[in-house]
Structure 1
């Protein structure tokens, strides 16, 4: 690409951004269509408007039907742990995880960021995630513990991910460091 002076514009490589869960949104959970109202479409068209909105409640499958396979959960835990450690180390702003956390989880996250628990000291290396341990105590819940090397010390970061069927997303509900 050239500008009006004829010199070539610089191209800067962009970082690769991957979603927390591979695939298109909603691909990991089956969706159901609402059942047709009694009387069919012809009966609905013949009704008079009463001024009240007609709402059909859509039921979604609960719990184990929405949970992705175990292999996806391990990848999810690892990817979220990497992003979480980057936020706690100050390499990424906390607001980047806002849509992936509950209100309570975001409050805990911002408190830990302000405390600087994983922020590297001057001259020391960035924190490195060494190992991620995960457990699914119930369907739709993933408890994760990550071992993080911060130079001379090894720290642990624990967090809880919960699957919210309404939004079809995993969200961090709790964060703790030691």
Structure 2
């Protein structure tokens, strides 16, 4: 008599998930609802923060870095598409085509100066940054505005010289 072996998936014994922060031991319906004070329906963005509570200065600095990477060719322009309005993306694409921030050589890495920003209104930030590329210096200016019901920040204008 030969034994026939059949493959059966290994199953762990069922243990109820008590939830890290839920004292009643119920499993939360939403991952952010597991801890007290978290309301997943409140329209919060990534990392549990309200998108309208971002620091405009830090936002302008991050976007300036990404924008310079696109303008120098280190990053594809499509990566900023969701962060720009239609007009802003058109301006960005024309600057990339014109080679507004061309590198002098392979060894030339862009160095960004301090980002200067101002807020003409609570839902808009205008910023500029000096970019050193080898022996050449450029200025990049842009405007970020909060758009849509979620209040997502989008670049609405870009200029480089």
Deviation at 1:28, TM superposition (A): 2.1
| 1:27 aligned to which of 49, 52, 73 | 49
| 2:73 aligned to which of 87, 90, 113 | 90
Match of 1:39 in 2: none
Structure of greater Rg: 2
Q: CA RMSD in A?
A: 1.8
Give the structure with the larger helix fraction. Answer: 2
Which runs of 5 or more residues in structure 1 are unaligned? 1-22, 30-65
Give the TM-score, by structure 1 length.
0.61
Deviation at 1:122, TM superposition (A): 2.6
Give the structure with the larger strand fraction. Answer: 2
Aligned length: 117
Give the TM-score, by structure 2 length.
0.67
Which runs of 5 or more residues in structure 2 are unaligned? 1-44
| 1:78 aligned to which of 29, 41, 61 | 61
Distance 2:142 2:159 in 1: 6
Moved over 4 A (4+): none
